[in-house]
Amino acid sequence: RKEVEQDPGPFNVPEGATVAFNCTYSNSASQSFFWYRQDCRKEPKLLMSVYSSGNEDGRFTAQLNRASQYISLLIRDSKLSDSATYLCVVFIYGGSQGNLIFGKGTKLSVKP
Amino acid sequence: EPEVTQTPSHQVTQMGQEVILRCVPISNHLYFYWYRQILGQKVEFLVSFYNNEISEKSEIFDDQFSVERPDGSNFTLKIRSTKLEDSAMYFCASREAQGSGELFFGEGSRLTVL
């Protein structure tokens, strides 16, 4: 069973559209949750952390449902520059340090 | 803005050769990681490192792999005898503190094994 599952897409949307990504995780010991963004052949970069109460950062809204082990990301008024792969990431604290477990990513392409 | 730096950006090597990938984490960070990403695949955890020793490693990180922090600055990943399937982007990352603080990634080293 995959630890972090995402719809791979691609999502092809016009500028200005609202798009939602979903993610499920299998390890109930997962402690923290994030959305990272990865541009083609670049390193992952933190987009936002995800909190149980839900959180918003400008056009981006993230939600977490611990009971369902489900994470979502909503992008409103999408821009051309939002085109990227969005990675759902969980932090599992094990041993002395813990590490990030990545989903395979959902590819978004915003068209003019 | 402080950043994680990695060298080389791209290395091409023959199968069976040894490769060393270098990383300079952010200076006040204490926790270090290597991840890899095979083209078109997900980012996969290899190893974590703290206090001059490995904290955790994945099943990918077999005896062909080793890590070292030789001089308090560099953090290296060595692959002893490369295989074709080692071709991937290797990302170094570092984190300041304990807990689930943000991981900062380097730009990656692309390894191509021929």
**Residues, chain B:** 114
pLDDT in tens, B27-72: 889 899 999 999 989 999 999 998 889 988 999 999 999 999 988 7
- The chain B residue lying nearest A91, using CA atoms, is B100
What pLDDT, on a 0 to 100 scale, did the predictor assign at position B99?
A: 55
Q: What angle do CA B39, A82, A87 make, to 5 degrees?
A: 45
CB < 8 Å to B110, chain A: 41
A102 closest CA partner among B107, B75, B41? B41
Note whether B108 contacts A98, CB cutoff 8 Å: no
On the question of pLDDT at B9 being above 80, the answer is yes
- The chain B residue lying nearest A94, using CA atoms, is B56
Half-sphere exposure at residue B95, Cβ-oriented, CA atoms within 13 angstroms: 21
Distance CA A30, CA A3 (A): 10
What pLDDT, on a 0 to 100 scale, did the predictor assign at position B70?
A: 83
Distances (CA, A) of A28 to A32, A33, A65, A90, B45: 11, 12, 11, 10, 19
